[in-house]
Amino acid sequence: MPAVSDSILVHARQLDWKSCRNSSVRKLGRHLPFVPCDYTRTIPTFRRAATLSSKSQLSSSQTRENRLPPISNASLLKQQRLPLTFTRPFSHSPRNDKPKYFSHYPPGIIYATKTEPIQSAIGTWTAAVLLGAISGSVYVFTARPKHSDKLDIESGDQFQKSEARENSGSTNSADMGDNNRLGHIGNLSPEQEEKLQQLWVATLRVFGVLDTEQVKALNSTVHGTMVRVLSELSVPASDQAKKKKRGWFGKKTESDEKDTPAPSSDDKYGLVAKFRHALENASPEVIRASFWSMLKHDHPDMLLLRFLRARKWDVEKALVMMISTFHWRSVEMHVDDEIMVNGEEAMLLDSKSDDPVKKRRGADFLEQIRTGKSFLHGVDKLGRPMCIIRARLHHAGDQQEESLERFTMYVIEVARFVVQPPAETACLVFDMSGFSLANMDYAPVRFMITCFEANYPESLGVILIHKAPWVFQGIWKIIKGLLDPVVASKVNFTNNTADLEAFIEKSRILKELGGDEDWEMKYIEPVIGENDLMKDVETKTKIQSERDALGKEFEKATIAWIENKTSEAIKKKREELRISLQQNYWKLDPYIRARSYYDRTGLIQPGGKIQFYPTTAKEAAVPETTVAPTTEVAAAPPAAAPAAPKKIPVETSSDDID
């Protein structure tokens, strides 16, 4: 930035405002915020030396002739020992005078007066406080232990470090897969493992498996404390109203004040209210069933760890978020008992119904999946499954909001099946080619944000916005304001195929995105009768009973693990039960989930095997049976470790930078 010389300032003093706008001084305006001609702000030392106290202000009776020329040099100011007065922009008079918008002088100029010695802007007490703060900082820094690797769980320091590494886009071989990151299964610090055990204790208390005394005993083992919100579970749900009775004069009793968790400032989705509603209206057995229903083929520990990481290892907040998610899935969205049970076949039948409501709902759903508005295909360099979203195919008003939400939930739930170890997250690719304002619809965007931030935590690995047009710049500013900073940090803008190659192998980038993979999404219609196994209630009940028994055994093994966390025998038994639960789910799956496009194409194969890239005709063939247990879930082999990707922002002007 160019320096401001005395000659320029003196010259500018002789100009009126109109002339100033056209002078060379005006060129400095592009460097200054808000006030184009406030050139005195370009001298930081000069500004810091300015005194704005009322003692140094000029009286309104003083004339321009009594003022000294502008001063632009701090050393000159010290030599003359003159106080300063700062005038507002577009003002002729000092700070306490009425602004005059047609001043003879250019705005923001600093004048020196011949009276009163210069005064410091920092008082004695302020200097003392600053000195004390600096001394304290030096002491804390020097007194800190040199070898302190202990994890500060309460403040979430380790979570932030792990999250920062995850968001940095690092793709070194050591970071291949989510499991290799700290805070994930197989890579927990001792403190994180204790937090996991504490959350298990609280969860089993909500399930009715543990009573208050057992919780206290187990918490003493894992250095935990009684979670506040669990105090309400000490009495039956039918007696909750009695516990909530108010004291004298309608005021809450002191015990109620302590036991009631107040919504925190970051509870923008009302999770505390949903948590309380779930405890008050659902029995422990119902909440427990919701947990095992949501779990499906996943590792139980992995599900709890998602909520712990999302809440920076705060056990109470993680519990509130998890129970609220159960409530959202079962009461608000009916994910497992309606959306996944009915599936695509039911939507096909609804589209042919005489009922106009059902017909519209079915037609809206099928239109989105037939056109390939959003689909799952392939994996990125970290083995994360990719969801391709073609924004140009969406037009606001084409589908009802309920149908949009239903389709969104359907894709997310199916995506959970194709996320295979070591990956735990997915890669979203928004194809913005051909996008215009006609394709923008904030309602589904907000719903998607709610899903991932409040109900599917830690599910997004990276978000790629590909070929965003200039019109998307303003839209992105609005969307970014709705996002949690952690989620926003995972967004990357790519403008060409080379940018995509930082995240995806070129051989696995679709041709429509500029890659080499010759694959096209062609929808295969549902076959009437493909879900007949769901009518076999007897077999379904038998397999479900086996699952319930395995769940109870796993809960007992978890309690034993908490009591004896160093016992390898208990850990081994718990892992065996986990594998049995996974195998049991894939036996149960065809009886509780309608077949999808991904089952018909062979992407989701019997036993949960995922095949994105079939290498033989046998692998590419559509499976004839849907029941075949397996001991290990196969994942598509990840590619070689790439170089660290870079974030490529949307082209913006300097005024658009946040």
Other beta carbons less than 10 A from residue 651's beta carbon: 11
Whether residue 264 has pLDDT greater than 70: no
How many Cβ atoms sit within 10 Å of the Cβ of residue 612?
17
Q: SS in 3 state form for 353-413?
A: CCCHHHHHHHHHHHHHHHCCCEEEEEECCCCCEEEEEEHHHCCCCCCCHHHHHHHHHHHHH
Sign of CA dihedral 148, 149, 154, 159: positive
The neighbour count for residue 138, using CB atoms within 10 Å, is 10
Phi, psi of 465 (to 5 degrees): -105, 105
DSSP 8-state secondary structure symbol assigned to residue 56: G
pLDDT of residue 623: 53
Residues 301-324, mean pLDDT to the nearest whole number: 97
Closest CA relative to residue 412, chosen from 367, 378, 448, 368: 448
Q: Bigger pLDDT: 297 or 22?
A: 297
pLDDT for 77 equals 39
Residue 548: in which H helix or E strand, if any?
A: helix 537-563
Amino acid making up residue 420: Q
What value does the mean pLDDT take over residues 506-525? Answer: 96
pLDDT of residue 124: 53
pLDDT value at 420 more than 80: yes
User: What is the average pLDDT across 207-225?
Assistant: 86
* b/e burial code for range 76-94 (CB count within 10 A of at least 16 → b): ebeeeebbbbbbbbbbbbb
Enter the pTM of the model: 0.68
Average pLDDT over residues 486-509: 97
First to last CA, the chain: 21
Local confidence band at 229 (pLDDT 50, 70, 90 cut-offs): low
CATH number of 337-513: 3.40.525.10
- Least confident window among 67-81, 256-270, 435-449: 67-81
| pLDDT tens-digit readout, 126-177 | 555 555 555 554 343 334 333 333 333 333 344 444 444 444 333 333 345 5
As a whole number of angstroms, the distance between CA 272 and CA 264 comes to 9
**Contact indicator for 477, 443 with CB cutoff of 8 Å:** no
pLDDT for 84 equals 40
Which residues does 438 contact at the CB level (< 8 Å), separation at least 6?
A: 395, 396
Cα–Cα distance for residue pair 291/295, rounded to 1 Å: 6
Predicted confidence (pLDDT) per residue in 39-55, tens digit = 333 333 333 333 333 33
pLDDT band per the 50, 70, 90 thresholds, residue 511: very high
Q: Is the pLDDT of residue 497 over 50?
A: yes
Mean pLDDT lowest for which of 164-173, 331-340, 359-368, 525-534? Answer: 164-173
Q: Could you report the per-residue pLDDT of 358-379, keeping only the tens digit for each?
A: 999 999 999 999 999 999 999 9
Tell me which DSSP letter residue 55 carries: G
The pLDDT score that the predictor gives to residue 199 is 96
The whole-chain average pLDDT of the chain stands at 74
Rounded average pLDDT over 104-118: 39
Instruction: Classify strands 374-379 and 460-466 as parallel, antiparallel or unpaired.
Output: unpaired
Q: How confident is the model at residue 222 (pLDDT cuts 50, 70, 90)?
A: confident
DSSP one-letter code for 338: I
The residue among 261 and 246 whose pLDDT is bigger is 261
Asked if residue 161 lies in contact with residue 533, where contact means CB atoms within 8 angstroms, the answer is no
CA distance 606 to 637: 19
Check residue 232 and give its pLDDT.
54
The residues, ordered by sequence, that sit 6+ positions from 252 with a Cβ below 8 Å of its Cβ are: 246, 260
Section 389-394 average pLDDT: 97
pLDDT at 221 (0 to 100) = 82
In angstroms, rounded to a whole number, what is the distance separating the alpha carbons of residues 51 and 113? 12
Average pLDDT over residues 321-336: 96
Residue ranges of the chain assigned to CATH 3.40.525.10: 337-513
Of 57, 121, 113, nearest to 86 by C-alpha is 57
- Do 471 and 391 meet the contact criterion of CB atoms below 8 Å apart? no
